[in-house]
Amino acid sequence: MSQDSHSALQHAVLKLLKPLVRLLLRHGIAHKAFCELAKRAYVEVAARDFQVGRRKMSDSRIATLTGLTRKEVARIRNLPPSDDGIDIQRYHRAARVVWGWVHDPRFQDEQGRPLPLPLEGEPSFTSLVRAHSGDIPVRAILDELLAVGVVVREGELLRLTAPAYIPRAGEAEKLHILGTDVAGLIDTIDRNIHGEAKPPLFQRKVYYDNLPEEFIPILRAILVREGQTFLERLDREMAAHDRDVNPDAGGSGRRAAGIGLYYFEDEPPNTPETGDKGDPTP
């Protein structure tokens, strides 16, 4: 890496760390705890992504790469495995059930609308979960969908109230999203910088720094309306090709892919009052 690239990377890391540190301090996570998490991330990434051929990464090799001592590397490697996939799996299982309720003719009325379902029987919520969510407990899915308000009870029946599953808006769930969504964005940027042999991934941003206050609620409404419509169309396309949702989809191999939209606001920089639009190179 050139000196200019090294300096630019350090500047970028400092910039992305500032909002993260703000969040950590709000939740009482001090520097020492963050450093412990950073050590674990260094060890796990070095062991997973920097192997030489098929040789297993030794503690010495990881220590050389990361700058940690071999003793620290050994300690960290003996920690229980992190649960990176648990919350993602919970989200996907619940989303599959809602998708099946909306799209599977077995759980629709003659007009193609989701049927109110009893817990047991045929068709039922239990058969819906078994058809679209594998072996996860029916009660776990039901409790999750009731908690977020996507499903409501009407006597002995369960009724779907929304065409998509959105995780509950509690603080813990929002913090889980921080880990998955920001990591995905950074992975995309890394691929676009260093994936010379691979085509770049879509990465765009539209930014203006001299907008009137009155336009901001209009902009938010546009994103909510059109962004949700766009994501729902993508959801239908992806679900039709996902072999967990549609076992007849066919195809070879197994890949995971996702598409995210987000909106942000910031204080404008100290520049002359002119509009500015940025569009990062993919």
pTM score of the predicted model: 0.61
Average pLDDT of the chain is 84
pLDDT digits (tens, 9 = 90+) for 182-220: 888 888 888 888 877 788 898 888 999 999 999 999 999
Q: Are 125 and 142 in contact, with CB atoms under 8 Å apart?
A: yes
**CA–CA dist 279, 282 (Å, integer):** 9
On the question of pLDDT at 268 being above 90, the answer is no
Beta-carbon contacts of 86 under 8 Å, excluding residues fewer than 6 positions away, are none
Rounded CA Rg of the chain: 23
pLDDT category of residue 86 using cuts at 50, 70 and 90: very low
Tokens in use for 160? 């779907």
pLDDT: which is higher, 176 or 161: 161
Residue 74: what pLDDT?
95
Please calculate the CA angle 61-66-67 and round it to the nearest 5 degrees: 100
On the question of pLDDT at 277 being above 50, the answer is no
β-sheet bridge partners, residue 114 = 108
**CA–CA dist 234, 239 (Å, integer):** 8
pLDDT category of residue 248 using cuts at 50, 70 and 90: confident
Mean of pLDDT values over 161-178: 71
On the question of pLDDT at 88 being above 60, the answer is no
**CA–CA dist 152, 72 (Å, integer):** 50
Q: Are 189 and 282 in contact, with CB atoms under 8 Å apart?
A: no
